[in-house]
Structure 1
């Protein structure tokens, strides 16, 4: 007689359908990973080998308002087009420095919105 094997097969089938051997429904919950949201600030790190000039406008002819040391980090608020520097004409507005820097000298983590 194969009662044990039959009972195991029946129990496995019921569990697969969400029922216990006594006929009571079992709650099956799946936890989905939360959707990734990148609402936080975008940070940039200065990659130049010398002090990076932070400018009043996104152009090399604009006045320098401050400078940042190599490796300095700042919040990148947005980007716009400006003077071409080393093959890129994107410039970033830095929130703490309150000025523009060429994207050529800043590595960013995250999406930088247009200004």
Structure 2
């Protein structure tokens, strides 16, 4: 099974040598135009990671409550609990995986690119 946390760490490791992910911190990786923002899972049951921004797709992975992650882009998808915002997370390939904004917190102080 795909491990989003390992893919996130592997993606960051090649671009950033010594950066501690702090909830709410922003960063720029110096490998082209890849920007990302630190986010935190706020859903008490965690959040499912999916291949597209809707619940019709299989769960690829799950992130646990309190887990930190990299949001690399933002898009609209299926409305979950009043929000249609989904964040792209590194997948280990060119296409991101997605988590719904309903169960995560990503600071608004930086505009993520569209997925």
TM exceeds 0.5? yes
- Segment drifting more, 44-53 vs 94-103: 94-103
Q: Aligned match of 1:54 in 49, 52, 57? A: 49
TM-score by length of 2: 0.61
Q: What is the CA distance between 1:49 and its match in structure 2?
A: 0.2
Structure 2 gap ranges (5+): 1-25, 29-35
| RMSD, aligned CA | 1.9
Q: What is the CA distance between 1:96 and its match in structure 2?
A: 5.7
Matched, 1:82 2:80: no
Matched, 1:105 2:100: no
- Give the number of equivalent residue pairs: 78
Which of the pair has more CA radius of gyration?
1
Q: What is the CA distance between 1:51 and its match in structure 2?
A: 2.7
TM-score by length of 1: 0.61
Structure 1 gap ranges (5+): 1-37
Do the aligned partners of residues 73 and 96 (structure 1) sit closer, same or farther apart at CA in structure 2, a change above 3 Å counting? farther
Select the structure with the greater relative contact order (CA < 8 A; seq sep ≥ 6): 2
Q: Distance in 1 between matches of 2:97 and 2:65?
A: 16
Could you tell me whether the CA contact under 8 Å between 2:47 and 2:104 is conserved in 1? Answer: no
